[in-house]
Structures are given as C-alpha cells and as structure tokens.
Amino acid sequence: MPSPLVFQTVQGTLLSITSNIIAQVLSSYKHDAPLSFNVASIIKFAVFSIISGPPNIIWQGFLEDAYPTNVRTTPPKSEKANGKPPTAKTQMSKANVFIKFLLDQTIGAVVNNLMFLVFMGYMNATPAGKQGPWDAVGREIQQKFWPIMMDGMKVWPLFSLVSFLFIPVDKRVVAGCLVGVGWTIYLSLMVDS
C-alpha cells in the first residue's frame, strides 16, 4: 500500500493533468482554433504537481501539528473528583484556526505561487532565445506574481478557512486538489497568455 504522501501526490497529479487538458479545450474553443493537445504542457503540469505535492502535504501536516484545530479541554473539577478518569474532550481553537489561516494565506500562498512561476518560467524559456532561463523566470514573476496572488485571494482564503474548520488534515490536500481543478485551469490559461 502506498504511503499517504505518495497517494495524495498521485491524486493531485491526476487532477492537475485533467485541469490542464480542460484548459486546453477551453483555450481552443475561446480562440476558435482546432483542438490539438499540447503534451509538453500536460507533462509540465504533471511534473510540477509531483514536485509541489509533497511540500504542500508536509506544510498542511505542520500547520495542523503546530496549531491543531481541535484542542483538548481541561475537564471540570467535578469530573476529576468522582474517582473516574475524566473523559477526553476537545473544542475548536479559534486562535489556532486563525493562525493557520494567516500562515497559509501569506507564507503558503507566496511560496506556492513563486514555486509555480519559477518552475513554469524555467520550463517555458526558449533555449535559443536571447534571454537565459533565469531571465525568463524573472520576467514571469514580475508580470504574473501579483495578478495570480490577487486572483488567488478570490478562491483560496474561503477554501482555506473551510478546510481548517471542517476537513481532516489527511484529506485537505485532496480537497484542495479538487478546488484546484478550477484553479489549475486558470493557471494553465495564465501561463499560456
């Protein structure tokens, strides 16, 4: 049986491939062009998912370990006094949810978007071009970082909050991948623009 890290990475990669294919179909329709799949683009998105999946899974685990949504509560003194072991109870920590949300929407978002732009900028650099691949990366970041961050603020904060409140940590990355189908379609169209 594959490890949860491998399983979640494979799921994310398959969803990323699906998203890129859908984006190519939409782009073909939008430009009224015949449909022909760009296999290189599909492979780039698959490789990016394989590279970015594990760090995101680890990130979500770290956030939950450091700032658990549900924390144990101290049983009332009356439960301790009657000789029975107190029943373990938990309650949602609003402070921990807020901290996770804040870290995920700042550090997490910046790192993920930069990782995406660096990877795609480097992979899309023309080998015979006048600029080297790192110049292409710089241009990609300069032109697309803030638009992607601003557009991401329309999607990811709400998902992040719902995720931290209601989705178990071992399901968050997969749930994020499902929401990410639409987001990856957007990114696919953004990279091709």
pLDDT in tens, the chain (193 residues): 678 889 889 988 998 899 889 888 988 888 898 999 999 989 998 999 999 999 999 999 999 999 999 998 876 666 555 566 666 788 999 999 999 999 999 999 999 999 999 999 999 887 766 778 899 899 999 999 999 999 889 889 999 999 999 998 878 877 887 888 887 777 667 666 5
| Domains of the chain: total | 1
Buried-exposed string 133-144: b where 16+ CB fall within 10 A, e elsewhere: beebbeebbeeb
Q: Number of C-alpha atoms within 13 angstroms, CB side, residue 38?
A: 18
Q: Number of C-alpha atoms within 13 angstroms, CB side, residue 15?
A: 20
Residues 122, 140 contacting (CB under 8 angstroms): no
Residues 185, 19 contacting (CB under 8 angstroms): yes
The Cα 76–Cα 70 span in angstroms is 18
The Cα 134–Cα 78 span in angstroms is 66
Among 3, 6, 4, 17, CA closest to 177: 17
DSSP reduced 3-state for 87: coil
Residues 101, 156 contacting (CB under 8 angstroms): no
**Domain limits for position 77:** 4-192
Q: What is the pTM of this model?
A: 0.81
The Cα 85–Cα 54 span in angstroms is 40
The Cα 152–Cα 183 span in angstroms is 8
Q: What are phi and psi of 175, to 5 degrees?
A: -60, -40
Residues 140, 120 contacting (CB under 8 angstroms): yes
Among 48, 49, 44, CA closest to 12: 49
